[in-house]
Structure 1
Amino acid sequence: MKLDKNKVFSFIRNRISVGKLFLAIFIIFIIFIDENSCIQRIKYDAEINDLRKQIAAQNDTTEYYNRRIEELKTDKNIIEQVAREQYLMSKPNEDIYLIENKK
């Protein structure tokens, strides 16, 4: 049951033309091997979308802090609120009571 190499090659030559063979090799090269392959482009597109989402999140954060800065520059009540809540400052003759949550 030994196959003759010449018979196998002649069978392949009769069934598949040279043009089809080159076309198949070219398609495989384009899809899998090339540095600009379809698979690589899909990965790049996914990475670009992730980076765009990160940029949008950072822009939202920047806008929030810019608004917060403007509020702190203009509104004295907000400055007092921040001083009391974050830095535990108080007015003279005022007592502060801290309530801690038990978890």
Structure 2
Amino acid sequence: MITENYVIKLIVNNHPGVMSHIVGLFSRRAFNLEGIICSEIGDSNTSQMYLLIKNDERTEQIIKQLEKLYDVLDVSLHAEDQYPIFNKLDNELGKL
């Protein structure tokens, strides 16, 4: 079964500019982000980011590029159904 969407989970250093670097990477490669969720973890020196992307032939290359960014500490790719956080958010927003 081919997944239409993936969730990229990142652990990143938490300081100004990190989100800009990550979003800039996607922008420079004309790769659309369908959704972004970010929150501090632990002692607030790090954050976790969830990026919702469409399944694309460039997904593997994007992962490799994310792993090269200095402030990215961990990268993992998941099928959307493994991290339904965006679906839950969509359902909650639909109730408003």
Q: Do both share a fold (TM > 0.5)?
A: no
Q: Which has the larger Rg?
A: 1
**Structure with more of its chain in helix, by fraction:** 1
Q: TM-score, normalised by structure 1?
A: 0.17
Higher RCO (C-alpha under 8 Å, 6+ residues apart): 2
**Structure with more of its chain in strand, by fraction:** 2
